[in-house]
Amino acid sequence: MSEQQREQNIKSIIRLEDRVAKCRRCAPLLKCTSRPAVGRGDLEPDTMIVFEAANDLNRNQQWIIGLHNSVRQYCGGHKVYHTFMVRCQSRVCPQSQGNDCFLTSRLLDHNDICLLNNQPCDGIAVKPTNEAIINCLTYLLEEIAALRPSRVILMGPRVTDFVLKACGVYHQTYDRPAYRAGEHLFIIAKEEHQVDSSELQHIADAVGGM
């Protein structure tokens, strides 16, 4: 990839992150999100990993580095990037219950301290709603189009379902591990907490079989 293309990628991602940071499409999620999750890794990726949303596992830097290394080892790619289908955190929040009617702004500071009680956030992370996925999916599709990875690993059935349908693939099964749409090979994988050596081999087989 040329230097010019790399600069273009960087500008596209900076513009995307700026819009994500200002996004207000999902008012209920904003209260318990200090910073929306953004993609990280090589900005000229051959492989992009897509998680459903941020969680304790994929926020762990050591675990993420290990996953990037494993993907390189099993799939032969060299440049790995990971990102999220939904950027803001879905949480059940004991503090804001009852305040829903009039509080619509962010309630966490940059250190995840809740402005309601000045304590670390004790909200319980939950799966994003379908509405949040639909609201946020455009950012992921834009990210894929900007970075143009040849392989996109879809972590879990909801990521698989929404992303493949958005790309025109309406019938998918885990038994058929990969689908080509446009210039991308989309690979169906299990959720991140189920990734082990056999799942990595499944991903490698999907890459090798296409």
Residues near ligand SF4 (CB under 6 A) are: 20, 23, 25-26, 29, 36, 86-88, 132, 135-136
Contact (Cβ atoms closer than 8 angstroms) between residue 50 and residue 159 = yes
Nearer to ligand SF4 among residue 1 and residue 126 (C-beta): 126
* Strand-pair partners of 84: 51
Contact (Cβ atoms closer than 8 angstroms) between residue 45 and residue 80 = yes
Nearer to ligand SF4 among residue 132 and residue 206 (C-beta): 132
CB of 55 to ligand SF4, least distance (A): 14
* Strand-pair partners of 5: none
CB of 36 to ligand SF4, least distance (A): 5
CB of 151 to ligand SF4, least distance (A): 24
CB of 59 to ligand SF4, least distance (A): 16
Nearer to ligand SF4 among residue 136 and residue 203 (C-beta): 136
Nearer to ligand SF4 among residue 29 and residue 121 (C-beta): 29
Nearer to ligand SF4 among residue 29 and residue 164 (C-beta): 29
CB of 65 to ligand SF4, least distance (A): 25
Q: What would the 3-class secondary structure string for the chain be?
A: CCHHHHHHHHHHHHHHHHHHHHCCCCHHHHCCCCCCCCCEECCCCCEEEEECCCCCCCCCHHHHHHHHHHHHHHHCCCCEEEEECCCCCCEECCCCCCCCCCCCCCCECCCCEECCCCCECCCEECCCCHHHHHHHHHHHHHHHHHHCCCEEEEECHHHHHHHHHHCCCCCCCCCCCEEEECCEEEEEECCHHHCCHHHHHHHHHHHHCC
Nearer to ligand SF4 among residue 147 and residue 185 (C-beta): 147
Phi first, then psi: give them for residue 113, nearest 5 degrees: -90, 130
CB of 7 to ligand SF4, least distance (A): 25
